[in-house]
Amino acid sequence: MHGGAGSGRYREEDPRFAGLVGAVEAGLAAMKKGSGTDGAVAAVGSMEDSGLFNCGRGACLTAEGRVELDAAVMSGDGLAGAGVGNVTSTHRPVALARWVMDNTEHVLLVGERTRDYVKLARLEVEELTPSEASAARFEAISKEARHRGALRLVRRFKTGDTVGAVAVGSDGVPAAAVSTGGRWMKLPGRVGDSAILGAGLFADSKLGAACATGTGEDIIRVGLCMRACEYMEAGTAQRAAARSIDRISRVRGRGNAGIITVDLKGRVGAAFNTEAMGRAWFDEVKGRVVATVGPDR
């Protein structure tokens, strides 16, 4: 599980630390009865509920101060997957993406009409409102925007605390899921990497799974997660994660991306070119979930 690569380091006492560990535990519980996809979706769902990260109840806001969410899910089994973008009527867009994957032919549904599928997916139809913390931050940024112009301001918020998970089920099928509010002050209607298969996530039964965080516009351009999965053909999950981050750093510069990976044996990898990336995973040797934020493992 990752909790984004944009907020710098935080300490073990920070509630996000427990949020990451709790999310992995929720994913593992779902995988006792279900697949890797069930685990990844449950883990991301727990982060959406928490309000602590840039997704679900804690999402960042558009230049108009609104919540517009992106999410996606993918299973390596037959490259099944789907994304949703600009979702405004459920704080659980990852569950909506799962419904689109399981019930339609499509890989991307966006905009106001996603409300229709929220009902069909038996999720509660909500009017999403900014959290207190997000509203306060928007107020502060808006003051600056009046001086500098909102269009330029978005560049300062390259990445945030998007969340994502990768897993391999007991059937050996890898899966990934991701959910985000996108970038602070993004233009209304913008869709980022987290809705797009191959960019913000990828899973392939022959390779493994990957999930990204960072500047969506850069991640889409280099097809980051598909690339990371292809790198697993010739190397470990950790090596593939590092190679994919080297690649995006070379092509688009540093400070814009983080990634987590899992190979078919369940070995995990993580890499980022920002200061830090919160992440947690089940450590088989220690027999428990562990979490870290900095470059150490």
Q: Which is nearer to ligand ASP, 4 or 130 (CB)?
A: 4
CA distance linking residue 167 with residue 172, whole number of Å:
9
CA distance linking residue 292 with residue 42, whole number of Å:
21
Q: Does 192 bind ligand ASP (CB under 6 A)?
A: yes
Q: Which helix (H) or strand (E) element contains residue 84?
A: strand 80-87
Q: Does 278 bind ligand ASP (CB under 6 A)?
A: no
Can you tell me which of 214, 223, 269, 278 binds ligand ASP, judged by CB under 6 A?
214
Q: Which is nearer to ligand ASP, 35 or 54 (CB)?
A: 54
Choose the binding region for ligand ASP from 41-49, 90-98, 168-176, 190-198 (rule: CB under 6 A).
Answer: 190-198
Can you tell me which of 160, 198, 208, 269 binds ligand ASP, judged by CB under 6 A?
160
Choose the binding region for ligand ASP from 89-97, 146-154, 186-194, 233-241 (rule: CB under 6 A).
Answer: 186-194
Size of the site for ligand ASP (CB under 6 A): 18
Nearest to 207 by CA among 135, 147, 267: 267
Q: Does 7 bind ligand ASP (CB under 6 A)?
A: no
Can you tell me which of 2, 3, 6, 248 binds ligand ASP, judged by CB under 6 A?
6
Phi and psi for 258 in degrees, rounded to 5? -145, 155
Can you tell me which of 85, 216, 266, 278 binds ligand ASP, judged by CB under 6 A?
216
Angle formed by the axes of helices 237-252 and 224-231, to 10°? Answer: 140
Q: HSE, CB side, 13 Å, CA atoms: give it for residue 271.
A: 22
Q: Does 261 bind ligand ASP (CB under 6 A)?
A: no
Show contacts with ligand ASP in window 28-67 (CB under 6 A). Answer: 54
- DSSP 3-state of 75: strand
Tokens 């089920």 correspond to 169
CA distance linking residue 221 with residue 212, whole number of Å:
13
The answer to whether residue 162 is catalytic is yes
Residues belonging to the active site: 162
